[in-house]
Structure 1
Amino acid sequence: MTSIGQIAFDLPGLDTGPDLASYRWILANVSGGKDSAAMLYELVRQADAADVPRDRIVCVHADLGRAEWEGTRELAAEHAAAYGLRFEVVARIGLDLVDRIAERGMFPDASNRWCTSDFKRGPVRRLMTALVREAENAGHLGRVRILNVMGLRADESPARRKLLAFSHDGALTCPCRDCVLRRAALESAERRGVPCPKDKKTGHGASNTLRHVDTWHPVHSWSTNDVWAAVKRSGLRPHPAYAAGMPRLSCSFCVLASRPALVRAAQLRPELAAEYAAIEEKTGHRFQNDVSMAEIIAEAADASSEVTAIPCWSG
């Protein structure tokens, strides 16, 4: 079973990873975090081994505004520059994440992660559109093949454990054989008035009539120790938030974070914590269902509450 938008192909070679040389563009999603750095290291290693020109690799950073740790965007650019790779920044048009939360009057949560779709997936797809035009202007004929590469790992959550390391990002408008068959199954189910099985749905991925998009998670099976070992080998600089005790470089205050991680973040970024508490008070919507930011701030301010051995979180 795969997540919506990911399609498993029963074809030779798919389980062993992508043919990197077959893509016009390889889009590396760089966050500045440890998994991102390990992914970039492994991607470049395999691309060099496959004689893929580095000018086909484009690093993209989805900028979340002040919800990110300070210096994250600059660090992502530094990681790309270490390999001589092109670096692009994308962002949602309009308000940054903090102001958008205030405007919506609600925080994202595990069942409604609109922050990911609005601030990461959507902006990255706009870059894909621009890259297609760039290839066409350079004389490319036919659909443009894009490999979307991310540093998601199975250890991070049950949902990510279910992801395929390599999959097709299928969609209703994708003309590939597999998506055509899936559309036929969906139309047949609709005619019969029965639900279409989830594993038969096409999904709402990034592919369309102009581009064929596959998704690759090269470090999907890696452990945290594997990741840090690769970061050490790469020579890339980790973000200072790790040394300060944070186990992940997500948003400074991720709605899925563990309570100790939120407390430590509030100690490191008290002004942003106060902004979230003000949003809670104004909207009446808690940061997490069972935890308010006001409670986190109070715990962070307690001189006796030393935050050690901060657990990671799932999601």
Structure 2
Amino acid sequence: MKWKTVQSGKKATRRKFPQQSPDLSVRWCSGYLKIDVCSCAIRNQERFKGIRTLVLSGERGEESPQRAKYPVFEPDRADLRNGKAFQRHVDRLRPVRDWKEAEVWAIIEKYRVRVHPCYYMGWGRCSCKFCIFANRNQFASAARISPLIAVEIIDYEIEFGCTINRQYDLPALIQTGTAYKSITEELIDLATSYNYDQLVIIPESEPWLLPAGAFSENCGVP
């Protein structure tokens, strides 16, 4: 597969962190690093031309007022069904938008799925380790797992003259937070390794356990 590089604008950087806002124009981490990655892949591959494509995503309305307003079904941002040659017909479906968290964990237990290590460590959502929306406990937990990365981000705060949180710098958030008690060295090694050898479906001989992060704090979801 060959990828074509397209220069769509002037290279620049504002030397700041994404802002804690539902507006993707200032919270560009989600727009550019998550959503647009999928859109660019669809827009730039010949195999998506002239066919119908369905994109599934797992946003739930219970997570935030903003997500509760998302349509269950709508044309995807990569859609181009305008009648021109080689059109792209791309829809987006959010099948669990109206699910409650209890329903999510129930179906995971039903099929005995082993979830991401972060849930076993105490996180209620699997997101960026040092997410801009994290609270004190989550920053303290992230620093417990990856202290060197925490130091690197602190150095960036100093260099940029701009903090992730609008009121407190990262050292203050880490020091006043409490790392999750469920974090163990074994889970740290598992979560930070580039190799994952755990069975995704837990065998009947092994008990399925509700992760420590289930029904826990779930702050800052835009």
1:149-168 matched pairs, under 5 angstroms: 149-168=56-75
Instruction: Say which of 101, 109, 112 aligns to 1:232.
Output: 109
Instruction: Say which of 37, 47, 61 aligns to 1:134.
Output: 47
Counterpart of 2:147?
270
Q: Is the alpha carbon distance of 1:262 and 1:209 closer, same or farther for their aligned partners in structure 2, counting shifts above 3 Å?
A: farther
Counterpart of 1:17?
none
Q: CA deviation at 1:113?
A: 1.7
Equivalent-residue separation in structure 2 for 1:162 and 1:306 (angstroms): 33
Unaligned 5+ segments in structure 1 are 1-92, 94-102, 137-142, 177-207
Q: Is the alpha carbon distance of 1:173 and 1:215 closer, same or farther for their aligned partners in structure 2, counting shifts above 3 Å?
A: closer
Equivalent-residue separation in structure 2 for 1:257 and 1:218 (angstroms): 26
Q: CA deviation at 1:244?
A: 1.1
Q: Secondary structure at the match of 1:210?
A: coil
Partner amino acid for 1:159?
Answer: Q
1:1-315 matched pairs, under 5 angstroms: 104-109=14-19, 110=21, 111=23, 112-131=26-45, 133-134=46-47, 143-169=50-76, 174-175=81-82, 210-299=87-176, 305=178, 307=180, 311-313=217-219, 314-315=221-222
Equivalent-residue separation in structure 2 for 1:281 and 1:226 (angstroms): 43
* Kept after mapping to 1: 8 A contact 2:140/2:174: yes
Q: CA deviation at 1:258?
A: 2.4
Equivalent-residue separation in structure 1 for 2:77 and 2:127 (angstroms): 27
Equivalent-residue separation in structure 1 for 2:148 and 2:159 (angstroms): 17
Q: Is the alpha carbon distance of 1:270 and 1:212 closer, same or farther for their aligned partners in structure 2, counting shifts above 3 Å?
A: same
Q: Secondary structure at the match of 1:146?
A: strand
Q: Secondary structure at the match of 1:214?
A: strand
Deviating beyond 3 angstroms after TM superposition, the runs of 4 or more aligned structure 1 residues are 170-174, 305-310
Equivalent-residue separation in structure 2 for 1:175 and 1:209 (angstroms): 10
Equivalent-residue separation in structure 1 for 2:88 and 2:143 (angstroms): 43
TM-score, with length taken from structure 2: 0.68
Partner amino acid for 2:217?
Answer: P
RMSD of equivalent CA atoms: 2.7
Unaligned 5+ segments in structure 2 are 1-5, 7-12, 182-212
Partner amino acid for 1:268?
Answer: I
Q: CA deviation at 1:311?
A: 1.5
Q: What per-residue deviation string (whole Å, max 9, x for no partner) do you get for residues 30-77 of structure 1?
A: xxxxxxxxxxxxxxxxxxxxxxxxxxxxxxxxxxxxxxxxxxxxxxxx
Counterpart of 1:59?
none
Q: CA deviation at 1:245?
A: 1.1
* Kept after mapping to 2: 8 A contact 1:276/1:287: no
TM-score, with length taken from structure 1: 0.49
More strand per residue: 1 or 2?
1
Q: CA deviation at 1:222?
A: 0.9
Aligned length: 172
